[in-house]
Chain A
Amino acid sequence: MARAVVERGGRRIELTHLLWFRRAIRGRWIQWLVAIFMLAGFVLAILAGLFGTPVGSRNFGVIFVWIVWWAALIALLVPVTGRLWCSVCPLPLPGEWLQRRALIRVRPGRRLHTLGLKWPRTLRNIWLQNGVFLGVALFSAVILTHPRVTALVMGGYALAAILLSLLFERRVFCRFVCPVGGFIGLYSMVAPLELRVKNPAVCRAHKTKDCCTGNENGYGCPWMLYPGKLERNTYCGLCGECVRTCPLDNVAINLRTPGADLAPRVGERRLDEAYKGLIMLTSALLYSAVFLGPWAGVKEAAYNVFTLPWLGYAIGFLVANLLVVPGLLLGAVALGRRLGRTGDQPLRQSFVEYAYALVPLGLAAWVAFSLSFVLINLSYAWPLLSDPFGWGWDLFGTATMPWTPYFSGLVPTLQVAVLLAGLVVAVNVVFKIGSTHAARVRAALPVAGFCSLVTGGFLWLYLG
């Protein structure tokens, strides 16, 4: 029987209270099998990218990475399970095996085989992830369409993950470098799933803190967290080690109110994360215009990298992400402060706090964006199951299945529904934030207006 815990605001249902669930996590096997399956798919994607057909839509690498995996991740896994993907992600797996010199079981001694360097202080944030994401985004028209480039980017990530695991402690790559990890973390705050300690007081009193150091049942937190202080999902990779190591059985995985981490004053509020929210929102907007719009000239500019038109596109992309949209939000926040007789909180802090309202908005935008290409292009995947390299194989007899867009007439309606739902949540967050530091509720109106305006922009792009 699952137990409902009412604590720290909001209802929670503890899943780890279920014996089979606890056993499944402590046993390691299920997680390991799924991860191996993902690793096999990942290796196949890289091989297909390198040696298969150069035509993107006929190559397993391109279709399974950018359509199947991407859409499943952003439209399903992240909104519903937060960072659960990170617990089976193939990228850090080889590095972690090397560090542990073990595939599944915990090795006695548990010392990690790595130089164990500390990650530099100045990089202990997600600015690097913001930068890598933007850098990759500038080349996305090429990466998304060229199997070889997709394979090189994926392989590059994997190599970086291995290298960093040999040099630095634990999962430095996931926590501070992986550009995908950056937005998974941000959007995982929306998910109705969390890992938290049951009673923080128990942790405070516990001297050995096995969850940080590891013990014979598992490793110390690979994400360099102290579970006793977890308040948000952002940086917990749901790897389950602390569930295994805690001798006091104080770690729980809960179902909870979606978006609980977005309530003001839950955990820290940081400029790097605020910018992550802005960058993700702006990129969704620009991708929708560039890739789904009817303007071939823009597509060609984005595609012909290192030419003059591309340079213009790249500069425009960066300016929109780093200056224009943040500037609009800043303007809205500043206006709100005038309307709202805000206390003496600095403008920068208001800006950072309000930026978290863009989390549900941006997630909805990415779901809407994904809907438009996943339903249209999913059928490219079926032949590739039989012929991943495009070499004329037919393993399962699906090789000749034709391209068939699914529900093309329904897509816009679904997009409207998703976008409006995201807006409602965003407005809710906006007013919660406003009520914590302004004398008047109307302080929140301009930011709510900003959210509505952005949503209108998406509606125009998808339906206009």
Chain B
Amino acid sequence: MAPNPSHLAFVGTLVLALALGALAAPAGAEDGSDRVVHITARSFAFDPEIVRVNRGDRVVIELESVDATHGIFLDGYELSAKAEPGHPAQLVFAADKTGSFRFRCSVACGNLHPFMIGQLKVGRNLPLQRALVALAVVTVGAVWFYGTRSGRKGRAPD
């Protein structure tokens, strides 16, 4: 018996349709508010490590260094600031892109400096959800495509 890949493809498409439907649905009321986030930087960590804000928020990140000069560079938003001990810095921006963004120290502060990384999560993580849907599409598509191919070609008699 063949594994009936068309059956599989059908189930896959159904799942995908549901998933895509969910993603396309309005992302909920996320009207912006003012958010002040305090982050402490020490060699080699940010505290808190993970910061969550809503999409549309007007965010003020207050960076305070406790031991040496540290900085912050926010991936995706491409913003940066630098803070010395006793001289906090501010990063002011509108959180208009959803997803998870790494922020990292922007001042060479010592050996683990390149790995001094935190995360800013804005709203629902649509990029990840889309990537996972793409993963499902690709998996089902590849299984269907290569499965039917090898089913036709190289199958030993049952």
List the interface of chain A (C-beta within 8 A of B): 54-58, 141, 145-146, 291-296, 299-300, 303, 341, 343, 373, 376-377, 403, 405, 408-409, 411-412, 416, 420, 423-424, 427-428, 430-432, 434-436, 438-442, 444-445, 448-449, 452, 455-456, 459-460, 463-464
Contact = CB atoms under 8 A, between A and B. Distances in A.
B108 to A, nearest CB: 5
15 contacts: A56-B114, A145-B114, A294-B118, A294-B119, A405-B73, A416-B134, A435-B151, A439-B155, A439-B157, A440-B2, A444-B150, A459-B132, A463-B100, A464-B100, A464-B128
Interface of B: 1-3, 5, 44-46, 49-50, 73, 75-78, 99-100, 102, 104, 106, 108, 110-119, 125, 127-128, 131-132, 134-135, 138-139, 142-143, 146-147, 149-151, 153-158
Query: What does DSSP make chain A's interface, helix, strand, loop or mixed?
Result: helix
Contacts of A442: 3
A55 to B, nearest CB: 6
Contacts of A293: 117
B49 A57 contact: no
B149 A431 contact: yes
Given A58-B108, A341-B158, A435-B155, 8 more contacts: A145-B115, A292-B102, A294-B46, A296-B45, A300-B44, A423-B139, A431-B146, A455-B135
Contact of B131 (A57, A403, A459): A459
Nearest to B1: A440
Given A57-B108, A455-B135, A440 B44 contact: no
A408 B128 contact: no
A435 B158 CA distance: 13
A448 B144 CA distance: 11
Contacts, number: 148
Contact of B128 (A54, A145, A343, A463): A463
A296 B44 contact: yes
Contacts of B102: 292, 294, 408
Which of B45, B99, B115, B138 has the most C-beta atoms of chain A within 10 angstroms of its own C-beta?
A: B115
A388 to B, nearest CB: 16
B62 to A, nearest CB: 18
A431 B1 CA distance: 16
A432 B154 CA distance: 8
B111 A409 contact: no
**Interface SS majority for chain B:** mixed
A405 B78 CA distance: 8
A420 B132 CA distance: 10
A418 B45 CA distance: 30
Contacts of B150: 431-432, 434-435, 441, 444
B3 A440 contact: yes
A423 B3 contact: no
A145 B112 contact: yes
B108 A452 contact: no
A99 B43 CA distance: 48
A441 B114 CA distance: 46
Contact of A441 (B50, B75, B118, B155): B155
Nearest to B119: A294
Given A57-B108, A58-B108, A412-B127, A439 B158 contact: yes
A299 B42 CA distance: 14
A456 B135 CA distance: 7
Contacts of B46: 294, 296
A439 B150 CA distance: 11
A57 B111 CA distance: 8
Contact of B142 (A56, A427, A435, A460): A427
Contact of A420 (B104, B106, B108, B135): B135
A291 B118 CA distance: 11
Contact of A294 (B49, B125, B153): B49
